[in-house]
Structure formats: C-alpha cells, structure tokens
Copies of this chain bind each other. A is one copy, B any other.
Amino acid sequence: MNGVKRRAAMARFIDENDGADVQTLADYFQVSPITVRRDRKILAEQNMLSPTHGGAVPASFLYGELAYAQKVNANIPSKKAIARRAAELVRDDSVVMLDAGTTTLELAKLLMHRRLTIITVDLQIALHLSQSSTVRVFTPGGEVNREVQGQLDSRALRYLQEANAAISFIGTATWDAVKGVSSSNVPKQEIKRTLMERAECTYLLADSAKYGTYNPWSVAPLKNFDGVISDGGLSPLICKDIFDVGAELILA
C-alpha cells in the first residue's frame, strides 16, 4: 500500500474509531510507528485529524474545542489582572459592551454585583451575568458560533448597530504595535469594529503573551482605543513601540 492510500485509509480509520494510538495504527497498517507519526503530521496539516500524545483523534473532535488550543495556553492570572484593571473603568448605572473571550469573561465576573446594563455577543458571559439581580443583560440573536460561543452573523451585527454604550471592552488573540488588532475572520472583525463604533470609549484587553502576533483581518490600530490594558509581561522595548504609535498603554 502506498503512502497516499495509507494516509487516506488512516484518516478514515481515525474518524470511524473516534481516534487511535500510534501503535494501533502501526500494527494495523504494517508500518513502523515513526511512519505513522509522519503520516499523522501530514494529515494534521490538511486538517484531516488532530494529533494527540500517543495517537490522534478526528479533527472534528477538537473543533468543538477550537478554543482548546487557545485557552490551554491561556494565562489565567494575567487575564484576571487585566480584568481587575478594566473593571475600575466602569461607572455604575452605565451601559457596557463586552466582546467575546476569556478575558472579557473574567471582567464580566467582576461586574456581576454592579448596577449595570451589559450588551454582549458571548453566551457564556450572558449566562453568567443572567444570575445577577443588578445587571441587565442583552444579547443579539442569530446563529451561535461554535468557536466564540456567541453570535457573529449579520443579524447580530445589525442588532449591535442599534445599540449605544458608555464603554466597550474588546478582547483579542493577536495584537502588535504596527499591525494593531486583527482577527481570524471577517464576522469577528465586523463585530469588534461595531462594538468600538457604538461606545463612547473603547478599551482593548490584551494579554502580553499574545503580543507580536497577527491575523488576516485588521480591526483597528492601537491608537484608536482610548486605552490598551495589558499585564506586566511586556518588555520596556515593546512598551516604547506601543507608545510610539500613539496608543495609551495601561499596565495591570
């Protein structure tokens, strides 16, 4: 059996068996474990499966948790620190917009017992806040996006375009002094831009670990935010770069 056929069969095998370990595949296809690993790497690059330690699982397995890769790397303490700093900027009895994400979720937890109106696209955040008797929560409708656990479609966009807020908080997986904030797809880009437009002031919540990375779709340069809230993990050099592009950096 040649490589191409073997890999096709391997992908199917993994799909049908909900995953398999390297040794099982090596036995089944009569090749050495190293060859299985090489096949796995090739298939992973084609999104035919997701590699795991010791084996592989169907790609769809991790799709539900695409957030996995991101959230596993998530630096929870620094997110909490950023959220605490952000919470200080929120005035009681005001309208707050929250972007989707884990940092904004931390912020939402801190706002639970405040008197506020909160508009968010993140269902996780909405559900948390719905427990509060002092917070009114609004979400746009539409199809729920698996990755962000919230709505990103055009209906959500129109909903947000009718809203007005005193302050909005944008989260990001990628940011950079030169490239600004960018997102991995157009709907997310549009949602973030709308959240920025519809609030009197806008803050970026940006984990230092994510600095220097970027995605295909530009959202805004850093100077368009009233403040960029990050944690202590930024080098002085990076701080200077951020200052040089005219952004207001707030360290938590």
A143 and B136 form a contact (CB under 8 A): yes
A138 and B127 form a contact (CB under 8 A): no
Q: Quick one: which of B2, B131, B140 contacts A141, CB cutoff 8 A?
A: B140
B133 and A55 form a contact (CB under 8 A): no
Q: Within the assembled complex, what's the spacing in Å between the Cα atoms of A155 and B53?
A: 42
Taking the closest CB of chain B, its distance from the CB of A22, in whole angstroms, is 10
Task: Give the number of copies in the complex.
Answer: 2
| Chain B residues within 8 Å of A18, by CB | 5
Q: Within the assembled complex, what's the spacing in Å between the Cα atoms of A71 and B7?
A: 15
Residue of B nearest to A112 (CB): B64
B61 and A46 form a contact (CB under 8 A): no
Q: Given known contacts A63-B130, A127-B123, is B52 in contact with A5 (CB within 8 Å)?
A: yes
A57 and B4 form a contact (CB under 8 A): yes
| Chain B residues within 8 Å of A71, by CB | 45-46
| A67-93 CB contacts (< 8 Å) to partner B | 67-68, 71-72, 74, 76
B133 and A4 form a contact (CB under 8 A): no
* A144 at the B interface (CB under 8 A): yes
A141 and B129 form a contact (CB under 8 A): no
* A32 at the B interface (CB under 8 A): no
* A3 at the B interface (CB under 8 A): yes
| Chain B residues within 8 Å of A2, by CB | 19, 21, 52-55, 57
Q: Within the assembled complex, what's the spacing in Å between the Cα atoms of A152 and B8?
A: 26
Taking the closest CB of chain B, its distance from the CB of A50, in whole angstroms, is 8
Q: Quick one: which of B19, B57, B137, B151 contacts A144, CB cutoff 8 A?
A: B137
Q: Within the assembled complex, what's the spacing in Å between the Cα atoms of A42 and B65?
A: 12
* A124 at the B interface (CB under 8 A): yes
Q: Within the assembled complex, what's the spacing in Å between the Cα atoms of A129 and B48?
A: 18
B3 and A124 form a contact (CB under 8 A): no
**9 sample A-B contacts, Cβ–Cβ < 8 Å, listed by A number:** A3-B53, A4-B53, A5-B19, A45-B74, A65-B131, A123-B126, A138-B143, A139-B139, A141-B141
Mark A residues whose CB is within 8 Å of B: 2-5, 8, 18-19, 21, 42, 45-48, 50, 52-55, 57, 60-65, 67-68, 71-72, 74, 76, 123-124, 126-133, 136-146, 149, 151, 155-156, 159
The 9 closest A-B pairs by CB, nearest first: A141-B141, A137-B144, A4-B52, A140-B141, A2-B54, A130-B144, A64-B131, A2-B52, A60-B133
